[in-house]
């Protein structure tokens, strides 16, 4: 199955659960893409003693998951593209939604 995941939060537990879902779906043999928008573009650096989001993001990347980050959201925070979270557009988000069999939002 092709699963698209849109994440809009940098709240530790919610972002952590979203990325754990992405990792689980990928490990289950699904094709998985994650699109970060709004404050979620910051999740690559989120660490918490209980909810280590950055660790889940790195794991997802290591197992071949694709993460895209909203360019406008990055720019508004004076952030740039990274190897793990390349800068993308709303067109990329739309293409992901059209590509996916199912899309979930956190």
User: What does pLDDT average to over the chain?
Assistant: 97
Which residues contact residue 48 at a Cβ distance below 8 angstroms, ignoring those fewer than 6 apart? 12, 16
Give the pLDDT score at 33.
98
Distances (CA, A) of 73 to 12, 27, 44, 94: 19, 29, 14, 16
Give the pLDDT score at 5.
98
Could you tell me the pTM of the whole model? 0.94
Q: What is the pLDDT of residues 14-55, one digit of tens each?
A: 999 999 999 999 999 999 999 999 999 999 999 999 999 999
Give me the domains of the chain, ranges plus CATH numbers. 2-105 (3.40.1260.10)
Do 74 and 43 contact (CB within 8 A), yes or no? no
């Amino acid at each position: 199955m092709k699963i698209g995941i849109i994440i809009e939060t940098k709240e530790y537990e919610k972002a952590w659960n979203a990325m754990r879902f992405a990792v689980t779906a990928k490990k289950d043999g699904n094709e998985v893409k994650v699109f970060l928008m709004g404050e979620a573009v910051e999740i690559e650096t989120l660490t918490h003693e209980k909810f280590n989001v950055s660790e889940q993001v790195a794991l997802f990347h290591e197992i071949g998951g694709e993460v895209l980050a909203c360019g406008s959201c990055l720019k508004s925070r004076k952030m740039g593209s990274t190897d793990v979270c390349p800068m993308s557009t709303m067109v990329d988000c739309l293409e992901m939604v059209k590509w996916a069999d199912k899309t979930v939002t956190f």
